[in-house]
Amino acid sequence: MKFHWFAEVTYDGLPGAFPAPGAGTWVDAPVGLADPRRVGKNYRMFIRLMQQADRDGFDGLAVNEHHQTPFAMTPSPNLLAASVASSTENAAILVIGDSLALYNPPIRVAEELAYLDCLSDGRVIAGFVFGTPMDSAFAYARPPVELRERFHEARELVLRAWREREPFAFNGKFTQLRYVNLWPRPVQERPAVWVPGSNSVETWELVTRENYCYGHLSFSGLRAAKPLVDGYWDYVAAHDGDLNPHRMAFTQLICVADSDAEAERRYYEAVKYFQRVRDPGPRFATPPGYTSAASLAGLLGRTATPEAIEDRRRATRGEMSFWEYDEKGYIIAGTPDRVAQRVRELATELRVGQLIASLHMGDLDEETAAENTHLFGTKVIPQLRDLWADEPDHWTPEVSRQRVGARASASTLVGGS
């Protein structure tokens, strides 16, 4: 099993009254709430934490793309990835991902990911995302009905630019380029492709057909995620797809401490802050045309139960106790042994081979996040390496697998001497 360090780059200085219940923090959040110098400190903290994760044995360092929100201040994941690629040695650089439909022209994605792959010596994972409604339809004004067509045209251009050895012309519906001759090319013949999603049948079809890694990026808890993940694996099986667990990634908030009581004391307020600030508000979350009728029907059928809706409301408003968040799967918390057991249960139940562990959340202080990273990397990950060990992993760069594996072997030898 593989483990990737991840956190939403959340602004940590929002007042307790923001946002008002149901108002959300996306698209039109008042910019006066942010201090740019404090934002800079946040960025530097996240870079340091990812550098530490590389030292602590994580397989990947994940960055993502969002716009116009204090929840995730990462308008270009490739910028943050560049900071990390140049200052780490082992872990994959997991870009989850570039919102292809928002780039004009999308050849920029091919160029920048190639740059990152060269800079990191072949450690890049190319994540391609459709983009949230808040990002794509409202912040970037893309017509929702065009998003998938734009995405697929851009994906074709990026992959062809990496593949072709001679200049070529590209004449798409949205992008026309007389000369495409990518300099530089990636170190890898083609970086592994991941496509995050939530419930779209069209995304399931794409990743099954192309054998991409599918990432279920949700912070709504195991109970809410299980029907969707089960639906995905049922779809893969029904269409003769690859059932290898390594082509399924799952995002999970993790809170590790020396005792259960210490975990509650150190993480509870940050968990509530995270849940409050991540809420997009319904006015920006469901633009007409963004979700197909088939995907919407599946989503409502699997997750729109009264219990799930009430759980989501209470989680967002901070009305759950710390251990209720844990019970429902919004977090996995406790001692390293308890966390390892809970992660093992999750990975087995959902058939997950790539865990995207969120080890900073909300307004958590750096000292606690660093300890969380260290405890998970050195006390939890070693207990779980046996999971899916008999399954090949084609979705993590070979150089990262080799370097992380060599580092783990060296640590075992030192520890046993």
- Over 80: is that where the pLDDT of 412 sits? no
Q: Kind of pairing, strands 92-99 and 60-63? A: parallel
Q: Residue 4: enclosing H or E segment and its boundaries? A: strand 2-6
Dihedral angle over CA of 248, 252, 258, 259, nearest 10 = -120
**pLDDT higher than 70, residue 298:** no
Q: Residue 176 — very low, low, confident or very high, per pLDDT cuts 50/70/90?
A: very high
pLDDT at 338: 98
Output the six-digit token pair for 313.
Answer: 């409301």
- Residue 417 pLDDT > 50, yes or no? no
Question: What confidence score (pLDDT) does residue 221 get?
Answer: 75
Distance CA 71, CA 273 (A): 10
Say whether pLDDT at 305 is over 90: no
Which tens digits make up the pLDDT trace of 313-368? 899 999 999 999 999 999 999 999 999 999 999 999 999 999 999 999 999 999 99
Measure CA of the first residue to CA of the last residue in the chain; give whole Å.
Answer: 26
Q: What is the mean pLDDT of residues 299-309?
A: 70
**19 touches 4 (CB < 8 A):** no
* Span 55-65, pLDDT tens digits: 999 999 999 99
Distance of CA 297 to the CA centre of its chain: 25
- What residue ranges define each of the domains in the chain, with the CATH number in brackets? 2-416 (3.20.20.30)
pTM here? 0.95
pLDDT band, residue 414 (cuts 50/70/90): low
HEC-encoded secondary structure of 264-320 = HHHHHHHHHHHHHHHCCCHHHHCCCCCCCHHHHHHHHHHHCCHHHHHHHHHHHCCCC
**Is residue 282 predicted with pLDDT exceeding 90?**
no
Work out whether the CA dihedral 286, 287, 292, 294 comes out positive or negative. positive
Which carries the bigger pLDDT value, residue 228 or residue 270? 270
Q: In this predicted model, which residue has the larger pLDDT, 400 or 225? A: 400
pLDDT at position 415 over 60: no
- Tell me if residue 138 falls in helix, strand or coil: helix
pLDDT at 217: 83
